[in-house]
A and B are shown apart, each in its own frame.
Chain A
Amino acid sequence: VEDLAEGNITLKVFRFDPNVDKNPRYVEYSIPKWRDMKVLEALVYIYENYEPIAFRYGCRSMLCGVCTLTINGEPRLACATDVEDGMLIEPLKGFPIIKDLVVDYEKNLRKLREIKPFLAADIEPVKVKVSKEAIDKCLTYSYCIACSACLSACPSAQGYGEKFIGPFFFYFLCRYVFDPRDKVDRLRQAFSEGLYRCLSCYRCEEVCPYEIPVNEVAIDELRSRCYERGMSVDYVKEFVKMVDTEGFINSSKLFLKVKGLKMLKDLSWMKNVVVKRKFTSPFKRYGALPIPRILKAGGK
């Protein structure tokens, strides 16, 4: 280790013991840094040489997914993140804190128990023939380590009321859509877990340690299959219909179609929006090329 030494660095670490502390505090630790040192190694160094801070880790090699922390404001795996001078180390945002950097994943475990992300078959699975294509497809949904980085970064999952189960759960569900042995209606499950509350903001992909394009491979995939089965929300149905019939979105018409009489519930807001001419005429036509119509005529 001495051969690889690169001088000293200082880290700012979140500390909080609910049994003792009234409020969280941040403690600075000066530690020696060596080449390729990871945040996890730095935490182990602090634990062994300063004081016993609480944090979780397991495999040290990006597989177990339990060392996820908020590092400089972003959810990252401690075992895979190069440590830098001045780094701010905090517990994973969006979860209740048990102590220091350890958070409570009970919410995740409860959801996992609910959605049953395992092969649900009432027959002996071995009797069903699984094609090579199905196996390949299922394998594309096998890279998530459930580290919860995407959940922490997802505005919808962290938003009000837990109406959106969160990115990696949809990835798990999608895997069983392609497994012919699975007997649970995974599309209905996805739909009722808030599939259409994904913002397509791509934060999940941005923070995923494996850069899994969760939105594209899981959420869009589930949405297109749900849509074909008529499981959609008014907004998407009307949006697609308007593109199909008019080639362009008339935003006030879309708003009226989706909200209907509900818009009368907020008259003062509506008045302001109308006065500021935020609504153009719902009868306005745009003269766009009839692309969806030619598609319909020729089939997909």
Chain B
Amino acid sequence: VKYAYYPGCAAKGSCTELDLSVKAVAEKLGISLIELDKAPCCGGREVRAVDPFKSIVLNGSILALAEREGLDVMTVCSTCYLTICQANQEMHKDPNLLSRVNEKLAEVNLYYNGGTRVKHLLHVIVEDYGLKALSGKVRFPLLGRRIGVFYGCHLLRPRRVLASERETETLQLERLVSVLGGTPIDNIAHSTCCGFPLVLVDEVLALHILSDYLTKMKEVKVECIVTTCPLCHIALDMYQPKAQRISKLRFEIPILHVSQLIGIALGVDPDELGVNKHVVSTKSFMDKIFR
């Protein structure tokens, strides 16, 4: 199994441990990754909102680079996933749009036929690699630890765009956590936002949204939260100390990327997973698994 790996900006910036752990886990599972190192930013929801055509050309170039390798794109970010999927669907539906995009891509010697499929790391593991195969590789089961699952909005919504992408789009993270030996806690996993898009717009509002979520997770006694989105990770981990201060509550909940959680269960060296690169210490959780 081989994929065109699109890390996105966060995994190359504030969440380098995500990039590190994805590569370590892929190697352990025999999944080969060809990194799209010339691919631009997907533009997120920001470029999408102010200039939809620019967003589609940006994502068209990512899809074209993968197509040139003859591979499906694998993202590790929920927002990149939605943004690339949406552009791909729009080009499929409108051949005229695809040819306008190709006119632009020609200037950087790219051409997109429309044949690339988009997957998130979670889909690659659950649908392609298979949970049965994965369960055979688990060396350090998560001992029933209570793990909050957090998808990030853009792996779930809007359904108008995402429902047609997958046959079984729901509960994949819950199933994955169970296979790794943890107890998935999903009471509000499908209906909450982490507040990340507002951290640089209105930090106080973002922190209130974040601390609302963390309070609910604390109430159900999670021992860590696993997320499929580095942007959510930035909010949940990096901004957790600020959320504590604003809510006057003590959370101290370690936040792991899904690749890190898989890596821990597979027995990958924690240093290779970058679990020491988080703002909220992961030590208490690691000690519980490896004691």
Contact flag A196-B201 (CB < 8 Å), given A247-B41, A272-B279, A292-B58: yes
Contact B49 A156 (CB under 8 A): no
Residue B33 at the chain A interface, CB threshold 8 Å = no
Residue B44 at the chain A interface, CB threshold 8 Å = yes
Contact A203 B157 (CB under 8 A): yes
Proximity string of chain A (16-54) to chain B, C-beta cutoff 8 Å, 1 when within and 0 when not: 000000000000000000000000000000000000000
Contact flag A251-B10 (CB < 8 Å), given A155-B195, A240-B47, A288-B40: yes
Contact B204 A235 (CB under 8 A): no
One of B52, B158, B234, B238 near A213 (C-beta < 8 A): B158
Contact B191 A153 (CB under 8 A): yes
Residue A280 at the chain B interface, CB threshold 8 Å = yes
Contact B277 A277 (CB under 8 A): yes
CB distance from A223 to the nearest CB of B (A): 4
Size of the chain A interface, CB-CB below 8 angstroms: 68
Proximity string of chain A (256-300) to chain B, C-beta cutoff 8 Å, 1 when within and 0 when not: 001100000010010011001111100000111111101101101
Residues in A whose Cβ lies below 8 Å from that of B218: none
Contact A280 B16 (CB under 8 A): yes
Binds B, one of A82-90, A115-123, A157-165, A184-192: A157-165
Proximity string of chain B (35-56) to chain A, C-beta cutoff 8 Å, 1 when within and 0 when not: 0011111011111111111100
Contact A155 B209 (CB under 8 A): yes
Residue B198 at the chain A interface, CB threshold 8 Å = yes
Proximity string of chain A (216-246) to chain B, C-beta cutoff 8 Å, 1 when within and 0 when not: 1001100110010000111110011001000
A161 to B207, CA, bound (A): 12
One of B41, B53, B242 near A266 (C-beta < 8 A): B242
Contact B201 A200 (CB under 8 A): no
Contact B51 A224 (CB under 8 A): yes
The main secondary structure of chain B at its interface with chain A is helix
A159 to B202, CA, bound (A): 11
Contact flag A287-B208 (CB < 8 Å), given A254-B200, A269-B242: no
Contact A269 B153 (CB under 8 A): no
Residue B32 at the chain A interface, CB threshold 8 Å = no
Contact flag A199-B193 (CB < 8 Å), given A156-B205, A206-B159, A278-B279: yes
Contact A291 B241 (CB under 8 A): no
Residues in B whose Cβ lies below 8 Å from that of A295: 53-54, 57, 104
Contact flag A259-B200 (CB < 8 Å), given A205-B160, A280-B13: yes
CB distance from A173 to the nearest CB of B (A): 16
A46 to B14, CA, bound (A): 55
Interface residues of B in 191-218 (CB under 8 A from A): 191-193, 195-198, 200-202, 204-205, 208-209, 212
Q: Which residues of A contact B (CB under 8 A)?
A: 73-74, 153, 155-156, 159-161, 163-164, 196-203, 205-206, 211, 213, 215-216, 219-220, 223-224, 227, 232-236, 239-240, 243, 247-252, 254-255, 258-259, 266, 269, 272-273, 276-280, 286-292, 294-295, 297-298, 300
The 7 closest A-B pairs by CB, nearest first: A251-B13, A202-B157, A249-B9, A201-B193, A235-B200, A288-B40, A160-B208
